Structure 1
């Protein structure tokens, strides 16, 4: 499915005149309930955790709401995941007016003008990259605002910038702020000092019918399987970006090779770090043991080919990839980032390690060399996902927020 980007003028033509639309969601001519207009602002609408979550929510409720999505970087790739029953439009962001105070003032003015013209019932912003919209909406009385904070880039992995803390504290006053991780919830309370009444902890949910241990298996490694490939498979699913720290995974795998542990690593995903990571793979002598599978549109069947799931990120909050591995019944070796230690089953927690190559290699080696243990851990992770991370619970909670 290809979804076109619309200019602001064309989108305005498609929507009822703002002055004629009742804020009680009633069409004056027909008397029927009007579907609320929800405007979503993403720093990018490339395929990622927050974007995939939005697509799942939109597809679950279909035509219950109308959606306008503004990808601030112009990347609308995740639109392909929106079903045809969803009233959905991609909208180009207002043009940039340069840097400095004058440029920012003109940018905020343009955002406010667009919000007044389209009059969405709800504005949904995400992460620091959309904070200008959270600021601008204060000039539009009556506009309900939901801000979803999924995490930070590598520049804030260790420490929050003071100016950003103060900006969030001011911009998000009066908003509903959604945090999908306990780590972020603590941060919003203790550092941003937002009142508890504004905060909502909504853990990410998983489609447990799609990500399950039984079902079709599609291994991304050509020719894998059978007696010719007896080695267990380590799998990871990640955008190939610096904060995912896949260097650490490759160095840990080099340590496994040195101790003669049998394994093959498959990396699903693509990104700007691919060439550098492939060069590192060659320099470590791992070319025969590592497969870069690239982007896989539906990775559920690929997860079922893995024996162990690995995550080596420097910064995460509540990673979907770990949830997907848990739903598939996999043991997880992970760095101790975000909520991972709280997400996995108790039996899996010894394999959540410091961000150290040797510690991570030991966790992987133990899981690879003790198949009965990793299977038991995987079953416990599946039970935990079923009990605590239902996608339908997440859907209904977001629906309640959108509809006030």
Structure 2
């Protein structure tokens, strides 16, 4: 296929936390154990664009099907991740009517929305949904809050005002955290009581990447470096483009879209590597791309437990990555030397070493695949969210 004007090779410290007990899901029906309709879960996202938190929700909702009903609020109006949801799900997408820079007014308005919707449980996601958490301080529904990371404004340090608001809004609600890094922040910086902290690692459908893991479609020519990311500032894909410019004899395929794409295309042209960089845009199905990557690269300034890294591991790939969030402990120990400082030259050095050694790539990819199969199957994640949504 042809993308971006060139041919792509066949390319289409531990804390005590509550143990979550798996719950047997009721048969696919419209009624729960109480005889009433299936539990209604209201999910509030800053955006329902395609991203890690949204994709995870879609996987969980699809898995449980009619065992739950859903309200999905996208505060910025973007509903792109709706494409990931099963057609037969009972889900609505109301407009919450948020106003920028009006926290108190929004919280009061959202309280009224919650009273009208009457959900069994309210699930808020990240700082961008904190006003809905505040709206439920006079409780309308059981509440839990999910944190997947931070925007670029909190990359280096937590904003004191936000810390205080989190402490107020979240001190009595379960707070779900996929990474140990976030657990430490919630405990030591936000000062949340240990009884509310829930560590629930991300998981994926490993079977989707089984064909990619066979490795039969890679290693046939110029090494291909791949990344799968929303093209937003905090992903710093520009760092990856500059790193690839410093490594001859390889190509870069960028799967994803976003506001940074024009600047990234211009950067590739300025660096004289436009013919080595392919922008393939947003792709709903990524396994075929992973199958044709020779190595995966992550260049973010901030992450916690990125699904793209788990997907790359499940595809049997070696990984060059910046040292953010839980990325280092997620990977096989053999891959640790290729987790680098947030620096162009360091990332380029890791990529250069992997590009130069096919045997090393195969060895690290096999180790990452073993670890993914051991640690990141989605079954445990499903059981944990079942318990959280049901309040058991």
Same fold (TM over 0.5): yes
* 1:378 lines up with 2:365 in the alignment: yes
* 1:208 lines up with 2:199 in the alignment: no
Task: For 1:177 and 1:225, locate their aligned partners in 2 and report how far apart those are by CA, in whole Å.
Answer: 43
Once the two structures are superposed, residues 38-61 of structure 1 have per-residue CA deviations (whole angstroms, 9 ceiling, x without a partner) of: 000000001110000000000000
| Cα separation, partners in 2 of 1:313 and 1:105, compared to 1, 3 Å | closer
- Equivalent of 2:142, from 138, 144, 163? 144
Which residue pairs with 1:123 in the alignment? 122
1:105, distance to aligned residue in structure 2 (A):
3.3
Q: CA RMSD in A?
A: 2.0
Matches within 5 A, 1:78-117: 78-96=81-99, 99=101, 103-117=102-116
Task: For 1:151 and 1:304, locate their aligned partners in 2 and report how far apart those are by CA, in whole Å.
Answer: 28
- Equivalent of 1:253, from 222, 226, 244? 244
Give the TM-score normalised by the residue count of structure 2: 0.88
Task: For 1:32 and 1:243, locate their aligned partners in 2 and report how far apart those are by CA, in whole Å.
Answer: 46
How many equivalent pairs are there? 361
Decide whether the 8 Å contact of 1:218 with 1:301 is kept in 2.
no
Which residue pairs with 2:173 in the alignment? 175
| Cα separation, partners in 2 of 1:37 and 1:128, compared to 1, 3 Å | same
1:217, distance to aligned residue in structure 2 (A):
9.0
1:32, distance to aligned residue in structure 2 (A):
2.8
Which residue pairs with 1:7 in the alignment? none
* 1:164 lines up with 2:151 in the alignment: no
1:113, distance to aligned residue in structure 2 (A):
1.2
Which residue pairs with 2:4 in the alignment? none
1:284, distance to aligned residue in structure 2 (A):
0.7
Using CA pairs below 8 Å that are at least 6 residues apart, which structure has the higher relative contact order?
2
Unaligned runs of 5+ in 2: 1-29
Decide whether the 8 Å contact of 1:115 with 1:140 is kept in 2.
no
Which residue pairs with 1:18 in the alignment? none
Task: For 1:218 and 1:302, locate their aligned partners in 2 and report how far apart those are by CA, in whole Å.
Answer: 13
Decide whether the 8 Å contact of 2:96 with 2:113 is kept in 1.
no
Once the two structures are superposed, residues 138-180 of structure 1 have per-residue CA deviations (whole angstroms, 9 ceiling, x without a partner) of: 1135x21110000000010001000000000011121000000
Runs of 4+ aligned structure 1 residues displaced above 6 Å come to 215-219
Give the TM-score normalised by the residue count of structure 1: 0.86
Task: For 1:217 and 1:370, locate their aligned partners in 2 and report how far apart those are by CA, in whole Å.
Answer: 16
Decide whether the 8 Å contact of 2:212 with 2:288 is kept in 1.
no
Matches within 5 A, 1:230-309: 230-257=221-248, 262-309=249-296
Unaligned runs of 5+ in 1: 1-25
Once the two structures are superposed, residues 12-49 of structure 1 have per-residue CA deviations (whole angstroms, 9 ceiling, x without a partner) of: xxxxxxxxxxxxxx98xxx8342111000000001110
Decide whether the 8 Å contact of 2:212 with 2:290 is kept in 1.
no
